[in-house]
DNA sequence: CAGTGGTCTAGACCACTGC
DNA sequence: CAGTGGTCTAGACCACTGA
């Protein structure tokens, strides 16, 4: 007995999906149909489909069927926000996405004042329970939900600035902070992977079995931590890229070799 | 109509786990025992346990039982391998982990020669199907599986170096490459989140529902891409950290303020 | 309404673990 | 060896979808 039955069925279906035989968005045969085709019981069929759903390959919708997930992936160059240089007139996200010919939207702006949770307090170097300003938004690419962002500011940084208003700041929040004496000179990102909460899954439009990529970005001036941004991305449609040191020389050298 | 039965059972068990009633590492009641206790069939018990495994809360081991997972998280400063500076006598991973007082191991070394897949070829700037040298290893922290690493080298880079031998290179592969004229000056990381394959889940000791964090690191000399390293980490026990620009000033200023 | 996936039962045998 | 989880069957009824 090589592989268990349900894994053989899963492998057969996986093959059809990755080979393009069943293209993204298409519907798989129904469960009774798969029973007959592979000569197994329905529970075994469901074990196979569960495995594929857990890999993010397919998604089942009650009463409708099981479909091949259509994954578009978008890469964010997360190391590009050097110091304050990205805040030149337009939001970095919109600029980056637009470059790729996609339509970027930022919706559902919200501003709240909360007390700092332990996680937030530690990163912002403020006391737990002290007041912080939270700015929330959701981001869409080509009309599809893509990420949830929350930015936390120490109250004394946000006070008296446009950060207190629940609207987009067209020239960028980094510039707004710099105008008030808080110039960003660097940041630290912490990236982790986890399963989404029910709410997150609902907004990001992912079924169960698709993880999220969570990024904590703590921004610093030469004096202190001035902002914490938490981004939650749909895991299977996002890549974060970081370029450290000199990568341009090696990439350009290769290109010129090709060209010659 | 409240919640489905299996979710009620899952919720009851989840409660006992998060409340500390069943501490990390402890064994849950056996499946027949849970059948009796909750008055449901074994399949329903298993659905509940599967759900908990998918959240990374528990882990089942055949023939032994189901146990509460003990999650330790480890943060890797992924932006620390500046140029070639990390290859100073000892492997960077072992050094970084040892600093934290944990025991790091690298096991199961393997060397293979393969043809480049499209993904590998694109990043290494070589033709698809050309020969590449692959070095594999698995990494443990405190004796527990933690990550799987595969490094790909263009054949002409690896040829005639110790990279061709299936053993650890104590002073680091970056140094070994530098000795043969390929000095690393920078790298690009691509980070994504996905569900593990069955094999990966088995090695990393996570349920099939716990995501993995996958990092593609392409290293460059001033001339070309010289290496591609693919790291697969257990998602719920790993954080990747990147520091961009100057973050030290802001952190130190805060500390001296506290101290004064 | 028929067809889909979601939930659930009551069995069975196998593979692995540790005594 | 007994006890554990892993796999598998053959049913059943329910909830949701779309024609």
User: Per residue in B104-141, pLDDT tens?
Assistant: 888 888 899 999 999 999 999 999 999 999 999 988 88
How close, in Å, is residue B72 to chain A by CA atoms? 13
**Domain enclosing residue A62, as ranges:** 5-68
Q: How many domains does chain B have?
A: 2
Query: Are residues B15 and B138 both part of a single domain?
Result: no
Same domain, B155 and B201: yes
The CATH number for A235's domain is: 3.40.1410.10
pLDDT value at B232 more than 50: yes
A53-67, A113-127, B168-182, B200-214: least confidently modelled range: B200-214
Band (pLDDT 50/70/90 cuts) for residue B79 is confident
Domain boundary, last residue among A68, A85, A105: A68
Interface contacts (A, B; CB < 8 Å): 199
Does some domain include residue B258? Answer: no
Average of pLDDT values for B158-174? 87
Same domain, A106 and A44: no
CA to C1' distance (Å), from B59 to C17 = 16
Contact B194 A250 (CB under 8 A): no
Protein residue ranges contacting nucleic strand C, Cβ under 7 Å: A 1, 28, 30-33, 42-43, 46, 60-66; B 4-7, 39-44, 47, 61-64
- Same domain for A172 and A52, yes or no, is no
pLDDT for the residue numbered B195: 83
A122 and A25 fall within a common domain: no
Q: Which has more pLDDT, A38 or B209? A: A38
Nearest CA in chain B to A51: B208
Rounded to whole angstroms, the Cα distance separating B170 from B93 reads: 11
Residue A255 lies in a domain: no
Range in A63-77, A166-180, B56-70, B88-102 with the lowest mean pLDDT: B88-102
Confidence at residue A207, expressed as pLDDT on a 0 to 100 scale: 63
In a domain, B253, yes or no: no
DSSP, res A256: H
B39: nt with nearest C1' to CA: C9
Measured between beta carbons, the chain A residues lying within 8 angstroms of B189 are: 241-244
Do A235 and B193 make contact, defined as CB atoms within 8 angstroms?
Answer: yes
- Asked if the Cβ–Cβ distance from A242 to B191 is below 8 Å, we say yes
Using an 8 Å CB-CB cutoff, list chain B residues near A47. Answer: none
Measured CA A198 to C1' D7 distance, in angstroms:
30
- B94 found inside a domain: yes
* Residue B58 shares a structural domain with residue B87: no
Higher per-residue confidence, B95 vs A193 = A193
Q: Determine the distance between B29 (CA) and D3 (C1') in angstroms.
A: 12
Overall residue count recorded for chain B in this entry: 260
Mutate to test the interface with A, among B50, B202, B244 (most CBs of A within 10 A): B244
SS3 of residue B227 by DSSP: strand
In this structure, is residue B248 part of a structural domain?
A: no
Residue A249 lies inside a defined structural domain of this protein: no
Suggest the residue from B220, B228, B250 to mutate for an interface test with chain A (most A CBs closer than 10 A). B250
Q: Which residue is nearest to nucleotide C16 (CA to C1')?
A: B63
Give the confidence band of B48 by pLDDT, cuts at 50, 70, 90: very high
Tokens found for residue B36 = 């009796």
Together in a domain, B46 and B85: no
Residue nearest to nucleotide C7 (CA to C1'): B4
Run means of pLDDT, 10 residues per run, chain A, 260 residues:
84 92 92 91 92 87 90 83 49 68 83 94 95 92 85 94 87 88 93 80 70 94 94 88 87 65
Identify which of B242, B187, B253, B246 has the alpha carbon closest to the alpha carbon of residue A84: B246
Same domain as A176, residue A105: yes
**B112 and B234 belong to one structural domain:** yes
Nearest to A9 by CA among A42, A105, A21, B93: A42
Task: Look at residue B182 and tell me whether its pLDDT is greater than 90.
Answer: yes
pLDDT digits (tens, 9 = 90+) for B7-46: 999 999 999 998 999 999 999 999 999 999 999 999 999 9
pLDDT of residue A184: 92
CA distance A89 to A219: 19
Residues in B touching A72 (Cβ below 8 Å):
none
Strand nucleotide closest to residue A63 (CA to C1'): C4
pLDDT value of position B83: 53
Is the distance from CB of B123 to CB of B216 less than 8 angstroms? yes
Which residue among B82, B197, B210 places its CB closest to the CB of A245? B82
In A58-129, which ranges are continuous DSSP H helix?
Answer: 92-99, 118-124
Find the Å distance, CA of residue B65 to C1' of nucleotide C12: 21
Contact indicator for B48, B13 with CB cutoff of 8 Å: yes
pLDDT of residue B91: 63
Domain shared by A9 and A84, yes or no: no
What is the CB-side half-sphere exposure of residue A141 using CA atoms within 13 A?
24
CA distance B8 to B6: 5
In a domain, A248, yes or no: no
pLDDT in tens, A17-42: 999 999 998 999 999 999 999 999 99
Assess whether B95 and B173 both reside in one domain. Answer: yes
Assigned domain for A109 exists: yes
Q: Based on the domain organization, do A37 and A129 belong to the same domain? A: no
Q: Which of B188, B226, B249, B257 to mutate to test the interface with A (most CBs of A within 10 A)?
A: B188
Nearest to B185 by CA among B219, B231, B154: B219
């Amino acid at each position: 007995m090589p592989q268990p039955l349900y894994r053989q069925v899963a492998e057969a279906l996986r093959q059809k999906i990755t080979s393009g035989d069943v293209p993204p968005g298409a519907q798989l045969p129904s469960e009774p149909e798969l029973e007959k085709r592979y000569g197994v019981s329905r529970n075994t069929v469901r074990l196979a489909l569960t495995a594929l759903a857990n890999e993010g390959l397919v998604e089942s919708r009650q009463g409708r069927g099981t479909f091949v997930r259509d994954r578009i992936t978008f890469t964010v160059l997360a190391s590009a926000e050097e110091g304050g240089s990205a805040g030149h007139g337009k939001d970095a996200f919109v600029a980056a996405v637009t470059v790729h010919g996609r339509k970027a939207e930022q919706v559902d702006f919200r501003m709240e004042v909360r007390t700092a949770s332990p996680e937030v307090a530690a990163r912002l170097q403020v006391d737990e329970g002290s007041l912080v300003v939270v700015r929330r938004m959701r981001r869409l690419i080509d009309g599809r939900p893509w990420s949830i962002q929350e930015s936390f500011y120490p109250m004394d940084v946000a006070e008296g600035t446009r950060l207190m208003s629940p609207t987009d700041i067209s020239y960028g929040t980094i510039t707004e902070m710099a105008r008030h004496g808080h110039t960003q000179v660097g940041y630290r990102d912490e990236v982790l992977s986890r399963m989404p909460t029910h709410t997150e899954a609902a907004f990001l439009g992912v079924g169960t079995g698709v993880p999220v990529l969570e990024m904590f970005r703590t921004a610093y001036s030469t004096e202190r931590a001035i902002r914490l941004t938490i981004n939650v991305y749909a895991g299977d449609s996002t890549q974060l890229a970081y370029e450290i040191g000199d990568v341009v020389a090696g990439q350009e050298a290769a290109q010129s070799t090709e060209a010659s």
